[in-house]
Structure 1
């Protein structure tokens, strides 16, 4: 009674959702209650005894008893209702059972005589409505399924392998849509009447055709069918107008253009940041300029401009992109690409430069705070400040070599040079500059090979000349070779002919030392300039000639490597937009949380063997039904034995179906089985209550009969 009262309270305003329905009678209320909650005895009794019951009555949502029973997975109630004649909305119940994956209910509905008519399973609700109003209750305002969905299309969308197999045995097929340029009367009418519904029906049909469940069970060669379907869909993608803009934006070329444009803007910011010094600086290194008398000079020089702030944002965006790439590819794959090493080094130097600049700004700000707090005079030039504070008022010529601002400027200059060298990465995209960039890359490799021999010779002469002249510091015409630093400078610039011969001359009359110096210096120049330098030129020339002979192949290979780097997922947004979290990032984050929770539940699952057993039984059902289908063709199969390719394909299909079922059962964590157990318990409760009531009635009848027999005997005794 409590459930009935609750249902009456819910079903009261039926006219709100169902304009065809009227207020339900008490009998209909009880009937719908029993169908929804699985009260098998009440449903059976009302179907057998009631003459006024309308089995097609609907609730406030427009659902009849069959739909309520199917939606709550009451198989016995569904079987009782299907025995009733003139039952409506059988097609809706079938679609509902398919969407929920109730295989036994689907099998029971398919055995109904209504499906004996040919073509019933291939018609959509919209097409069926023109022939039979009772099979589908299609409602344009609030239907659960699209009007063009057929049972087999829905089963294919939901990846229900058992249902697809049953429908295929019944003769159901997914009709391939007509050609896009088809001018038949049917296509013309659909396109004219509702072009959106026409496009949606084509998309749903192709989704069903491309479903792994339908492909693997309906085709003898699913691989070939998938390739043919892929080719057809690729052609339609170029013809259809929908989603063209999204396809263009997702193209790898657009990703390349976006990243290239972002980097060019970054280089423009680097140039613009130095544009105020193109014609020289207004403040010489020995002059200080302040805005007001109490201002410390270094506060003015260490402040960040808006251009530098934009550069910092770009650097942070590029660093975030590099960190994501390092995380996705792993350290080994990341380091194998030299451009990644260059990028990481460039960004690290940028960050070090800005960090040193920020430290200098903090020190200057602390000095300014000290002046504001403890100095009362209006002009700092008239005050004697502590040395650590006075330092920040000095001009540039008095700064220490280890000053953070000087270090920052040096690192920034190196980073700018590396930034402009990064342009070479995109040069292979151009046919004219690509071969030149490849030649430059080979040249750099030759130089690194040459550097091994060069460093060995260079170190030998540098240490030898230093040992020879280190005792004559201040006793030479110039300071060459008197220190390690001077030895390095002299020998390095002598390669380019910028060192003097007098570098070995002494002020004293030590001819032996001078002669040894002349000999060593001469041997060095002959070895380095005449031999090694010409050897390097020959190596570079040979490498360039090799590339020039195969310039087209080399360039196309380099260009392909460049394009492939933009085909991978990730790095969609260029810096600095990569710092903004995209909707895709939120979706991936939520999916990772869901996968983590599923993994935890999967570890707690104890009945995995039961799931494997169910999967094997379903596979046996699949193979047994296949054997029944092909029994009639046994004679032909003897004559036409399957080829090895067909046998392999059949095995692959079976393995794929089995794996898909096992994965699905593991993901669902037996939620469907738990729900089925709950429904069975509910049905059992009603059956027990009915048995109890019947037993009570029988007992009352027996007591009544016994009392009738005892009463006459007592009267005779009296």
Structure 2
């Protein structure tokens, strides 16, 4: 039994030893991502560790001597001493290393830019090895040229990340400003379709590196720091760059998310700048800025304070800057312009507003006539306000829809109207024709003012164009049918509709008129954007229509596949012989049957064959079942999911989407012109005659003048919007625009001054937010490094102070002993013994032996001195007593050898 236990224990020991052996076996690392630590020289390791700790004295010792360390040595991560010091933000160590010959800065400048230490960056770029070209686009080339022999790409940054680009990435305003002053630049990427030699070489060499270079460059160009410091118009630069990045996201969709993030960053920066405005005058100056202005235009804009073009706002609408347009500052200005002339409108309740609107609508004919005669009167100015124009134009369109409703019924027509071909227009149709003519004239004026590009950019203009085109086609066909029937070239006038020709002009005109009515009633949805409750629903409906268009493409493919399959299966059976259903006999009927089957209007008996083959019927039923399963269960639910997703996206940003859509609606009523609604706009007013004669006069003067004029056509983009004036917090109208005075001196400031203030406020806000971010892990590590560096500095100072104290005590001890020994050579201590005792002492202050030796030596010397002094005093006293006639020794004085007396004297001393 004991032998078995011994065997078991020995077996366990063997297993444990084998496990221990397995643990200590080295594991092979196939990639070797780190540098071998044992390959580093111990002195270099101590040097790098001292750089990490901030031990300046140890680094100086390593750099000096007969075998100094290499100042460019690296650790396991490939970091040099200067990179470690920069990463720890140790300015003293960096200053020490920069004084060494042959030091290579490398990525240390990038580390300093990332950490945001202005002093270190300034020290590094002042080094002779850093040139102005290296700060910018020549950074990667300089790194390759400096280290061609042993260059290895670092793991921290790619070669295309220059100090300027990194400073822009990190939004280091002060450092980026310093680098720009020293000549740092960023080369803007070429267009994606560029065919230059350089782009072609980069694409063929490495397509991924070329794409990443473009992304890193655009990330720097889209940073708020770069736009703020390099652009004279930061808001315009942000608009253009965001639009460019959105196009790149669609074309280079491999990096779509990155480009979209940069686009959103540009949009947020423009909103942040607008958020820095502190007065209405600054907001007006920002939104009223033209795209490109020379000095004369800028001077005219600053002097004419009452002219508002809102060019920058229109540009924001063009570039779809929804956050910028929906900003509270922008919306406050738009609201003040919208209700200009009606100062107390927003303070009234809903019932009062409704009654006022009814009263104003009833006065529309009289006010329109009054405006035609006196356009510059008070009432004329009230009618030119945006809200009044919107109200009257909406009322005019409402009357037009009422006429369409009346035309859709038989109350305005004769009893035999359905039998008349080419009937003459009725009074109601003449009114509709007049209204349509007024709408066409308004659209022509809008097209002339805005231009073709701006006109076709709005989808509602397309709806108006289609609607009016259908009405024009209807009127033209009715005119053709009337004259053909009138001259007897197209048969009799009255005929039963069953006998009319297939392509009768009257039939076609009625069909087009019906479609035009649908578009007309759909047009009223556009007016819902003015309401905060119906507006988001209208926007969601527009997005859903886009989803439906995408869905119809896939659905048409599925429908075509089943229609062709079923038609190929059934067309062999002639309906005249077999009596088979005509549902799938032709391709057109197949499309029709499958479409209506989605709404359960097709029955199963329609796919049955009388006298047909069972196999054919089975295949037909299977195809019909598969179509219903795919179309109804899969595709229909997919459409519902797409529409729900679109609605949820709009609902998440309902306020922003509604304000953006409302702003586009409002901007159509801000510019001067188109005051009267249809059909009152067809009346030629005296003002129109005056403008026409003035234009003719200008044309004649221009032709007769020797120098060609430089005036151009006034567009809505450069239109004249009445500047709102206010008294306190209430906006009101004070006479004509020419008599209004600026309320503050801010408007007289140039755009550059205002933008400079906005950018300065933005930079201060960013720095304030950065300071209030709290303490993170990097800050704690920096504090730890500072404490470590301070500890080593204090330790070095302590060593120096202790050495000084030691030398001072040695000198004091030597002087004391020399004085004692020279004055009392007869004390019994010889010169040889004194030298022996001095050599035997340990002069190290940090050991207690030295202190005890000094103490013993001083006590022996003092005891010897005290003994001699006591003997002298006793001798003098005895001589004095004897001289006075006394005998014997006095009893009040102890003997010289008394220990108590010696102790008393020693204590007193």
TM-score by length of 2: 0.36
TM-score by length of 1: 0.45
Flag the structure with larger Rg.
2
